A and B are shown apart, each in its own frame.
Chain A
């Protein structure tokens, strides 16, 4: 597993989560800055999918491939689905929902790390 990408994703997702939580606290709605940040995270997740598959093919470790790829793919659907759901909300709670969606990414990264090093 390419750890710099993992750490980058954890940091980006937590930063986006804090920003979304601040928007919620200030009674603001979702804005383009937040959506842009989610777009960047999504691109890095896509890079992680490619890098992850390449590494899985080349590794000598005994990694559960199905599970690992499942998490790589699963991590891609969280933010788009979360954004669709949150954008239908016209109050501050849309941003609040996105804060929670962002928190899912570090959790998935942790699970992927556990699967890789198991």
Chain B
């Protein structure tokens, strides 16, 4: 038997996480189902084993936070900071995600079928985020590396203070953040978007997307540039 169920209505969260950290791989468990999450926080944080975790319901804050190895699917909505600081692996949110989705992720793939709230991909450090719906304001804020694909619309201040991360948007952009600008899509952009959409399971046409990247004018302090500090 390579699956297990954990019912958070009767089992402490600590037991679930400890099992995932210390026992799952050794016991050859490949699949864990979490029942009655009911908005609990920190479900499957620090997962570091080749396990597929299915969360049957809505998760609270930091679901799948600091994921390094494994795959987490949330059959519902996710609270603040889903997949925050993810290193690799995959997180899929079927519903919507709250603020700071994928914050500071270094790698891996976060997919959100619904909308995300503000600050999606804040401080992104190399991970990939694909959002089926729209993203709130300040998404991609200070995003340093990685890619974001937004199939819906983007709110205010998209990519404010952007570094090397690239954001692709299919819908409208309410406003761009400081130092963010729209650039021409190249063949490699279309290819990247195509790959990411396929990985997320969406079938949009990459040619419908715009590229948002950093103008790199904030990289050095410069008195004459009237920069906002």
Instruction: Say if A and B assemble together.
Output: no
